[in-house]
Amino acid sequence: MGFEVETIIKIAAFSGGGIAMGLGAIGAAVGQGYTAARANLAVSRNPKISGDIFKSMLVGQAIAESASIFALVITILLLFVIPPSPGLLDAAAYLGAGLCMGFGAIGSGIGAGNPGGEACFGLSRQPEAGSQLTTNMLIGSAVCQTPAIFAMVVALMLIFIKFGGAALTPTWAALIGAGLSTGLAAIGSGYGGGLAAGASCEGIARTPQSVTSVTTLMLIGQAVAQTPSIFGLLISFILMFKTFPESSLLMTPMALLGAGLCMGLGGIGPGIGNGMAAEGAVRWVARNVEHSSDLMRIMLVGQAVSQSTAIYAMVVSLVLIFVV
Amino acid sequence: MDTVKQVQKKITQRALWLSIIVGLVFIVMGYKSVGKGLILGTLFSVLNFIFMARSIGYKFGRSKRQIFSISIGSIIFRYILLAIPLIAAVKFEQFNLVAAIVGVFMIQMVILAEHLLIQIPILRGKQI
């Protein structure tokens, strides 16, 4: 059964759109649900300030929803914006864009729910620290969205850059691999960043005076937790912009697809691991401010070690792209 | 629930005013589609936020099954609501797509700006 090019493009664009919105909705919904669950707990604990808790929950949920709105934007573009005279490579690019945004929104959505939930619960413990908690929650949630923004950038590039001049094989695999690399790697970084942000809200609620140390450590921890998604972005850029010679061998496209998968999957664990290291440090710095430099040192060493598997994944991806 | 209504009112008013002012500036400068796209996107972002806030109060005193149905219905409805300005911007040239996308995020931008701007010492001083 043969298909016209236009039909193949539409199949890829519609499938990409479905994947982007379907997967993209998972994270935000889980994150918002977590925030609501913690808000319930907070209201049970301190019903007198239920209004303030609802306010924090609403604001936290609105920010956590951003990741799924990114996915919605990409979906609408895939469903309705097909440039004139598309080629077969555009089909691969559209599918890659959908995969990238769909996977890329999961971690940030779940992660952004953490600070929202912990801010609500913290408010029930320490109502007078409400302003500090809300500000910290918003900063933490916003930084959590960075991996999803990386995914949206790659998805937009895949949709709008014309790859028409490149060889169909193996470039089709490179474009799908580019989407998978950033999208999958963003899962761990988004979720990991959320762990650090959640712990910082808990820490501020416990010791409001520690807000400066807690926020600083949270931002450093989150920045390092983003590294695997930056590796994913790097591999995506190489896969999108390197010119691959035409090949009739199946091995070449599979190597490029494997490079994207390797970096994407390889980035999930380190992102979460880095977030856990940051979570521990941020949580404990609130109880032990005078030892913040020791905690930061241990956090950074722990994150560096946890990062090593992402570096292995990046090295293997580079070998698959440049050597195989 | 009064606090929620106050917050909702404050944020939505600021988002609408901001988009109207910025939108009008673009329209006056001759970028009509940009201004219109921004206002359109913001309008639906505000509607989404109002619906989100209202649905919180609507869930009280209902059975578990009803709450589940309301929640699912609310999510689907809100995503459809946010898709409208984007589809309109894609279909009609008088609305700029990028501006409509920016408008869709206006509520989030106002929430972040409101809390982060008061961290600037000069502005914090003024507020006190």
pLDDT tens for A67-119 read 999 999 999 999 998 777 778 899 999 999 999 999 999 999 999 999 999 99
Domain ranges of chain A: 5-322
> Chain B residue closest to A21 (CA)?
B79
| B112·A138 Cβ contact <8 A | yes
CATH class belonging to A5-322: mainly alpha
The contacts of residue B33 (CB under 8 Å, 6+ apart) are B93, B94, B95, B96, B99
pLDDT tens for A222-268 read 999 999 999 999 999 999 999 999 988 899 999 999 999 999 999 99
The number of beta carbons lying within 10 Å of the beta carbon of residue A50 is 17
List all residues of chain B from 64 to 103 with a beta carbon under 8 Å from chain A.
75, 79, 82-83, 86-87, 90-91, 97, 101
User: Which of B56, B97, B118 is nearest residue A58 as measured by Cβ atoms?
Assistant: B56
Q: Which two tokens stand for residue B111?
A: 């929430």
Q: At what angle do helices B32-58 and B2-28 cross, to 10 degrees?
A: 170
**Torsion region of A169: left, alpha or beta (phi above 0 gives left; psi -120 to 50 gives alpha):** beta
Q: Could you give the 3-state DSSP secondary structure of residue A65? A: coil
* ipTM of the prediction: 0.73
A76 touches chain B (CB under 8 A): yes
Kindly state the average pLDDT of the residues B72-100. Answer: 90
As a whole-number percent, the residues of chain B with pLDDT over 90 amount to 49
CA separation for the pair A194, A54 (Å, rounded): 20
- The predicted model scores a pTM of 0.88
Instruction: Kindly report the average pLDDT of chain A as a whole number.
Output: 92
Question: So what's the pLDDT on residue B112?
Answer: 85
| B1·A51 Cβ contact <8 A | yes
Nearest CA-CA partner of B85 in B94, B76, B74: B94
